[in-house]
Structure 1
Amino acid sequence: MTSAYPSSYYAATAKSIGPLARLDGDMSCDVCIIGAGYTGLSAALHLAEQGYRPVVLEAERIGWGASGRNGGQLGTTLRKSQDELEALYGLETAHALWELAKDSVETVKGLIERYEIECGLTPGLLHAAWKRRDADWLEEDVRHMREEYGYHKLRYIPRGEMREMVASDCYHGGVLDQGGAHLHPLNYALGLARAATEKGATIFEESRVLDLTPGEPARVRTAAGTVKADQVVIACNGYLRKLLPKVNGYIMPINNFIIATEPLGEEGARALIRDNVAVADTKFVIDYYRLSEDGRLLFGGGENYSPKFPKDIAAFVKKPMLRVFPQLKDVRIDYAWGGTLAITLSRMPQFGRLGPNMLFAHGYSGQGINVATLGGKLIAETINGDAKGFDLLSQLPATKFPGGTLLRFPGLVAGMLFYAMKDRLP
């Protein structure tokens, strides 16, 4: 029996293409991709465009993980700001990473346009200053990005105008990225899958990979079959588990949570977010929100680091929502859900090779729509002989979480609690 998607607003409004078949039996292919999230689907589509016939093995359903449950925000960034990247890696590398950041957004937009993916792509991403000093930093960042990188799509929003754009007294200012956007993340994933299969890729759902044997060819085994492949791509992100022990300690699965209000009507929705842009604040444990196509507020807030979700996700997320929008205290919550993503200590994605014919990418740290899509594209380029972009990211320093997979949770919880406390301070 085919497993259902976890209940969410996105699942309820998905433009389904499935269910697809399970792998049953043995087969061979040029590229086997493990995971049908953005990384795997983008790799499959870009490879299929080049004439490959990739096989994708998904443990659940297409976009079942964070790719189908996230906040739907598309930002022009690899996660860290450019001044942070300059301090870490130097100006030359920071510029090269900025080119990838721009390409990541354009890649998403280009795929949506080229394959007519119906996912409600809407322009505008507003970065909201939670503290006064955050507003000063954001204003300086606009200047820096204009002068050093020639990026003119950022506009600083002073506090007074911020209150006109977002009906909240929480913010001291903000920056509008007119190159950013927001979308329905599950429908975007399903659109990538539809395009990939039309180009010649094969996707198997409910085909969890049990073990991976290196070699030429490599062997990828599920409960009901085996794939022999010239190249293997591991694209599991927060759901990697024990499949790759050598790299599992470099990422930490964490859970984020989102609620969807009842429909607010056009007037009610625009009373909250005047210009229908997505919003994310500057807290360490961020709030992020936007309007859906049918006029709901989709609000993400709070996270945990346990294998289990809170018993009452709606109550868990409603608390930060009401800090921002106390006027919504009597609004009904129609959907509440969570998802698991993977973070790295540096908050930069981790790309790498495990032998001559095995590539992996993960650890997008909350920036998965554009960076994971870019990751799939770079993987496809690498397999096709051009590894420049992949090598740039794979050469960034990576650090394991202290204590490895056994002790990383207690350490992370202590750190997150510390920064969450700082978010609450003036």
Structure 2
Amino acid sequence: MNPLHRNDRPATYPASWYAATATLSAERPALAGDEMADVAILGAGFTGLWAAKVLAEKGFKVVLLEAHRVGWGASGRNGGQVGSGYNKPMRWIAGRMGADKARMVWQVAEDAKSQLRAFCESHAVEADWKAGVAHGAYSDAEAEEDKAEVDFLAREYGYEQSEAMGADRFRELVKSPLYHGGVLDRGAAHIHPLNYALALARAAEAAGATIHERSEVTAIESGASPSLTTAAGTLRAKHLILAGNGYLPAIEPHMSARVMPINSFIAATRPLEDPRSVLAEEIAVADSKFVVNYYRFTSDGRFLFGGRESYGLGFPTDIRGPLVARMTNLFPQLKGVEVEHVWGGTLGITMTRLPHLARLGPTTLSAAGFSGHGVALSGMAGRLMGEAVAGQAERFDVMSELPVQRFPGGATFRTPLMTLAMSWYALRDRLGV
């Protein structure tokens, strides 16, 4: 079944803490009949909205189609962590792309954080930008790998905002007995992602872009005369940008073979009296589990804890129980704390956990597969596609060289094959191997 409909009600934001605390906009009208544009965009998440904003500011007529609501998908449901780099060490990337291209790829990721921070400061104070993201390691060997990456970033790129910590110092910061060390990156950050998406949509519209909600695309024509078709009309354009990520239906074979949807889940507790009993600072944290745990405190003192991936399209019947078990295993001091919000969402991953930017034809660009690093990178991918449409494609072309191969089995058999593989890695997590 289409991920756009498997787990959610149409055009209804999930029952998340984000939706409960955001000022939601009035619903925008759906596409009705035929429209023409310079650029047609599929998907009103961070990627599509940044592409719309950039191109509208350059004078293009931009029309964006969203199946549900602005920020309804992963952009409005995620953990809010604005990480540095990619979901792959820069040492690995440099070894495969070479030093010069890797340096450009690193700079794109740095620009992505800078773009997001500047936007929050100027247009989305309510996104509540807070600096600091830590990464926890479960073994001495993993802690040494983290330190080697910190040293590499400082030596090769002059990045000195990350600090490697031994077990004792890290446990003073992140008060779990399970970590053997880690890294604190003060150049990374965390935000309220739905507030950011809503503000970004307003900025794109202020620049002149048109957004149609409840306009699910059922067919894509990516040839010389590209178009997006919905049940109620057709949008024709000179250029086409696909920004559906994990929610893109299986109607584009190239992306479907390389980007796989997976689900992740988040719980938010009631406000805690003493957040410092869990985290010594207002930072976000992710860790080295293959099925990663990620967490932080919200502005009103709730512990927001995410993890527990699933690889089928359907959400499990019990989201809360396993999430709480993971949370209290990591932080025994939270046993018995009431959980008030639980939700899930779908993101896009690739085989190498690197984003996939691609030219799908002479007039069609796509970006997806941000693999848990999308809060900053997906917005920058939108900017790069906007730049490429406008004739400045250097950064897009370099990013399109990130190594991303097809999933085994392609779009048809990727899910059962990957489920077997991921189940094995999840078992290794539980066994501590």
TM-score per shorter chain, which class? over 0.9
Q: Are residue 358 (structure 1) and residue 358 (structure 2) matched? A: no
Comparing 403-412 with 364-373, greater Cα deviation is found at 403-412
Q: Partner residue of 2:243?
A: 235
How many angstroms apart in 2 are the aligned matches of 1:344 and 1:413? Answer: 14
Alignment of 1:188-207 (within 5 A): 188-207=196-215
Q: Are residue 345 (structure 1) and residue 351 (structure 2) matched? A: yes
Contact 2:153–2:159 (CA under 8 A) maintained in structure 1: yes
Q: Partner residue of 2:403?
A: 397
- Give the 3-state SS of the residue equivalent to 2:75 in structure 1: helix
Q: Partner residue of 1:161?
A: 169
Q: Partner residue of 2:231?
A: 223
Alignment of 1:136-215 (within 5 A): 136-215=144-223
Amino acid paired to 1:418? W
Cα deviation, residue 280, structure 1: 0.4
Q: Are residue 280 (structure 1) and residue 291 (structure 2) matched? A: no
How many angstroms apart in 2 are the aligned matches of 1:208 and 1:45? Answer: 21
Q: Partner residue of 1:415?
A: 421
Contact 2:354–2:403 (CA under 8 A) maintained in structure 1: no
Q: Deviations over 1:108-149 (max 9, x none)?
A: 112222324421111000011121211111122222211121
How many angstroms apart in 2 are the aligned matches of 1:356 and 1:3? Answer: 33
Amino acid paired to 1:340? T
- Give the 3-state SS of the residue equivalent to 1:160 in structure 2: helix
Q: Partner residue of 1:247?
A: 255
How many angstroms apart in 1 are the aligned matches of 2:10 and 2:206? Answer: 22
Q: Partner residue of 2:311?
A: 305
Q: Partner residue of 1:82?
A: 90
- Give the 3-state SS of the residue equivalent to 1:391 in structure 2: helix
Which structure 1 residue ranges, 5 or more long, are not aligned? none
Cα deviation, residue 333, structure 1: 0.6
How many angstroms apart in 1 are the aligned matches of 2:174 and 2:90? Answer: 26
Q: Partner residue of 1:15?
A: 23
Q: Are residue 54 (structure 1) and residue 27 (structure 2) matched? A: no
Amino acid paired to 1:301? G
Q: Are residue 329 (structure 1) and residue 343 (structure 2) matched? A: no
Q: Are residue 44 (structure 1) and residue 55 (structure 2) matched? A: no
Contact 1:212–1:218 (CA under 8 A) maintained in structure 2: yes
Q: Partner residue of 2:134?
A: 126
Contact 1:17–1:194 (CA under 8 A) maintained in structure 2: no
Q: Deviations over 1:312-362 (max 9, x none)?
A: 211121111011111111100101111101111111111111211111100
Residue 268 (structure 2) aligned to one of 257, 260, 276: 260
Comparing 65-74 with 402-411, greater Cα deviation is found at 402-411
Contact 2:124–2:196 (CA under 8 A) maintained in structure 1: no
Alignment of 1:59-70 (within 5 A): 59-70=67-78
Comparing 218-227 with 63-72, greater Cα deviation is found at 218-227
Amino acid paired to 1:341? L
How many angstroms apart in 1 are the aligned matches of 2:10 and 2:299? Answer: 28
- Give the 3-state SS of the residue equivalent to 1:389 in structure 2: helix
Cα deviation, residue 46, structure 1: 1.2
Aligned identity (percent) is: 44
Comparing 20-29 with 285-294, greater Cα deviation is found at 20-29
Amino acid paired to 1:304? S
Q: Partner residue of 1:379?
A: 385
Cα deviation, residue 19, structure 1: 1.2
Q: Partner residue of 2:301?
A: 295
Which structure 2 residue ranges, 5 or more long, are not aligned? 1-8
Cα deviation, residue 215, structure 1: 4.2
How many angstroms apart in 1 are the aligned matches of 2:360 and 2:170? Answer: 47
Contact 2:40–2:227 (CA under 8 A) maintained in structure 1: no
How many angstroms apart in 1 are the aligned matches of 2:107 and 2:416? Answer: 36
Number of residues of Structure 1 aligned to a counterpart in Structure 2: 424
Q: Deviations over 1:71-114 (max 9, x none)?
A: 10001112211111122222222212111111111111122223
- When normalised by structure 2's length, the TM-score is 0.95
Amino acid paired to 2:337? V
- Give the 3-state SS of the residue equivalent to 1:283 in structure 2: coil
After superposition, the CA RMSD in angstroms is: 1.4
